[in-house]
């Protein structure tokens, strides 16, 4: 039976820096590596909120990106 092994976890913060001429949002992002694999969604959200206070742009979205190796 195949098994998945969690290798890395990254935290990606997406910010809205403004709007373009057509009224569409201008988005930018910042990715943080070496995030604890055991971090909960609540912990990651709290960290994202704390980081966003230091930024000029408005926090639009918080993403958790996990990389898993599948072995057989």
Q: Where along the chain do its domains lie?
A: 3-71
Cα separation, 53 vs 72, whole angstroms? 44
Q: What is the pLDDT along the chain (72 residues), one digit of tens a residue?
A: 999 999 999 999 999 999 999 999 999 999 999 999 999 999 999 999 999 999 999 999 999 999 999 998
Q: What is the pLDDT of residue 50?
A: 97
Kindly report the pTM of this predicted structure: 0.86
């Amino acid at each position: 039976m195949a098994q998945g092994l969690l290798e890395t976890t990254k935290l990606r913060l997406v910010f809205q820096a403004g709007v373009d001429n057509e009224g569409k949002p201008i988005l930018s992002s910042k990715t943080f590596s070496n995030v604890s694999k055991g971090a909960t969604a609540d912990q990651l959200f709290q960290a994202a909120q704390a980081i966003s206070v230091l930024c000029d742009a408005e926090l639009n979205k918080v993403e958790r990106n996990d990389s898993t190796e599948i072995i057989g």
